[in-house]
Amino acid sequence: MPCWLRTPPARYLLEWEQSQLDLQVADVFGFHAVQLGLAELEGLRANRMPHRWLIQPALLSGADSAVQPSEGADGQAPQGPRNVAVCCDFDALPFATQSLDLVVLPHTLELARDPHQTLREVDRVLVPEGRVVILGFNPRSLWGARQWAGRCALRLGAAPEGGALFLPQAGELIAPRRLRDWLRLLSFEVDRGSFGCYRPPLRSQAWLERLAWVEQAGDRWWPALGAVYAFSAVKRVRGMRLIEPAWRKAQKTRRTPAVVSQRQRAPAPQPAESLESLEQRKSAP
């Protein structure tokens, strides 16, 4: 892949991806951010976290794994830390559980030996409400169709046009719908997404510049057919709610009759007898 990244279509691709990463990571807050692979992209330069690291795959040699400051995709000097924390396999990250706030995967799942395990590792190391940004090639695009035709030609023994595949041979292209299903199974919620690079798969820099008008037309008329996609997802952790036993609820809602004291009415007072009636009753035999 490093050789392919020096071609005109790769520079055109990296320019679009760099602009998307700058937009999607600029407002992500936290303390620890990590980019897995593809040192040619400054995936964390627009982020303001104090600790930003680039992780290289363990297959690279010591000379290649030490990333030196170089020009970015836009030709300018890189901004922010470019330190390599460690060289490791992406499906076994040496980070504590729930210790990272942001993880950037620029074509990492396509080149990983086990993309499912790599995504599970990202889910493990992210804190609740942490964010992951994923870049990948869209197989349902003109670039994906040419890559598929080139692989079919290789299987049949005929060399593809141009003598090589248009995209890097390593890895497998992951469709956007398939990636969304993987993220949904891991309780990720995709809240941002965009497609880009609608120009035909051409190797000529002059023709790529002449067809610059295709970008606006593709973004308006066939937005989901871009050669590359950028998805941003948030890790959701559902809260727990204690369920009380049924007999406790029944005891609380049971109604008991209220006790009311029954009071008897006192007899009405008799009228007082006169003095004459008392004397007559005494004198009577």
Closest CA to 137 of 229, 222, 232, 14: 229
pLDDT of residue 145: 85
Phi, psi of 104 (to 5 degrees): -110, 130
CA gap 83, 94 in Å, rounded? 16
Output the pLDDT for position 275.
Answer: 62
d(C-alpha 82, C-alpha 69), whole Å:
7
**Position 74 confidence tier, pLDDT thresholds 50, 70, 90:** very low
199-216 mean pLDDT: 86
**Percentage of the chain exceeding pLDDT 70:** 71
Does 108 score more than 70 pLDDT?
Answer: yes
Classify residue 278 as exposed, middle or buried by CB count within 10 Å of its CB (0-12, 13-18, 19+). exposed
According to the model, what pLDDT value does residue 250 have? 57
In Å, how far are 39, 64, 228, 249, 255 from 195, measured between CA atoms? Answer: 22, 31, 6, 53, 62
What percent of the chain has pLDDT above 90? 28
**pLDDT category, 76, cuts 50, 70, 90?**
very low
Residue 2: predicted pLDDT: 65
Q: Is the pLDDT of residue 162 over 60?
A: no
Q: Ranked by mean pLDDT, which of 72-81, 232-241, 245-254 comes out on top?
A: 232-241
Distance between CA atoms of 117 and 191, rounded to whole angstroms? 23
Q: What angle do CA 240, 188, 116 make, to 5 degrees?
A: 115
Residue 182 pLDDT exceeds 70:
yes
- 262 with 153: CB under 8 angstroms? no
Q: Where do we find the tokens 């990492």?
A: 108
Average pLDDT, the chain: 79
Residue 10's identity, in one-letter code, is A
Q: How many alpha carbons lie under 13 Å from residue 26 in its C-beta half-sphere?
A: 8
Task: Return the CATH number of the domain spanning residue range 4-138+171-235.
Answer: 3.40.50.150
Report yes or no: 197 and 204 within 8 Å, Cβ to Cβ: no
Q: Is the pLDDT of residue 202 over 60?
A: yes
By the 10 Å C-beta count (0-12 exposed, 13-18 middle, 19+ buried), 246 is classed as exposed
Per-residue confidence (pLDDT) for residue 123, from 0 to 100: 94
Q: Averaged over 234-256, what is the pLDDT? A: 70
Yes or no: say if 197 and 11 are a contact pair by the CB < 8 Å rule: no
Task: Give the per-residue pLDDT at 232.
Answer: 94
Give the start-to-end residue ranges of the domains of the chain: 4-138+171-235
Q: How many other C-beta atoms are found inside a 10 Å radius of the C-beta of residue 251?
A: 9
How confident is the model over 128-158, as pLDDT tens digits?
999 999 999 999 888 888 888 887 877 777 6
- Per-residue model confidence (pLDDT) at position 146: 84
Between CA 238 and CA 209 the distance in angstroms is 48
Q: Does residue 96 carry a pLDDT above 80?
A: yes
Range name among 23-37, 160-174, 223-237 with the lowest pLDDT average: 160-174
Q: Which of 12-26, 103-117, 234-248 has the lowest mean pLDDT?
A: 234-248
pLDDT at residue 9 in the model: 85
